[in-house]
Copies of this chain bind each other. A is one copy, B any other.
Amino acid sequence: MKPSVVTIEPNGHFCSDCAVRASAVCSSLDAAELREFEHLGRRVHFASGETVFSEEDITTSFYNVIEGVMRLYKLLPDGRRQIVGFALPGDFLGMNLSGRHNFSADAIGAVTVCQFAKAPFGRFIESRPQLLRRINELAIRELSHARDHMVLLGRRSADEKVATFLLGWRQRLLALGGSLDTVPLPMSRQDIADYLGLTIETVSRTFTKLERHGAIEILHGGISLRDPARVEALAAA
């Protein structure tokens, strides 16, 4: 939200060193392709709270998250917000059919992305069906998550929502090499509420309730899973 202080590294970075090399779209490219691909993207840094792109903006770039966490959200005209997902390293953002982004994205904490101009990226894909296949895989994975989240939003109670969120978030961090039972929550309570279709008060109360029951411990910027089994029972998978 503060005035944009975007840093662009002119070059001096290499895909082969990239932290998300194995999990991102680029995992579909071989060494030779990667060298060519390297020239298409530039690393860009965003400070906490900065907006990377907004809903309805014309799409000029695609983004590969390298580091940090982003919130992806849509706003109703009256200001109500729904967070449609959190992006983590390896996630690929910006695909759409309309030529405009269909959600907004901003940085939660410091974020590094690999930014690709739309046209050259599109041209590069033309001749690399395996890259297209990889992008398609990521889209299908997102779609599956989106459907799971619809179930959560439409059919689960507040307790279930929060418990399911904590387990799912932990699972994603584990897949990226996180720790076992201390779960960092870089997003605010308001973000969590807007993700789960609740109010900030309900989220706060539910956290407190879970803590009172010995299921979790509330820490600064996260929680500790004291009784994973109990949380799983609440999530009622």
Contacts and interface: CB of A to CB of B under 8 A. Distances in A.
Contacts of A149: 150
Contact of A139 (B81, B143, B153, B154): B143
A234 to B, nearest CB: 13
A141 B146 CA distance: 13
Given A77-B236, A150-B84, A236-B77, A197 B155 contact: yes
A151 B80 CA distance: 9
Interface stretch (A20-28, A61-69, A95-103): A95-103
Interface residues of A, number: 41
B77 A237 contact: yes
**Chain A contact surface mostly:** helix
Within the oligomer, what is the number of copies of this chain?
A: 2
Contacts of A139: 136, 139-140, 143
A68 B146 CA distance: 25
B76 A236 contact: yes
Interface in A34-63: none
Contacts of A80: 155-156
A214 interface: no
Interface string A124-168: 000001001101110111111011111101111000000000000
A82 interface: yes
B96 A144 contact: yes
Contact of A140 (B96, B156, B196, B237): B96
Contacts of A155: 76, 80-82, 197
A143 B150 CA distance: 12
A99 B97 CA distance: 26
24 contacts: A74-B148, A74-B150, A77-B236, A77-B237, A80-B156, A82-B150, A82-B151, A82-B154, A82-B155, A84-B151, A95-B143, A97-B144, A132-B132, A132-B136, A136-B136, A136-B139, A139-B139, A143-B143, A143-B146, A149-B150, A150-B150, A153-B197, A154-B194, A155-B197
Interface of A: 74, 76-78, 80-82, 84, 95-98, 102-103, 129, 132-133, 135-137, 139-144, 146-151, 153-156, 194, 196-197, 236-237
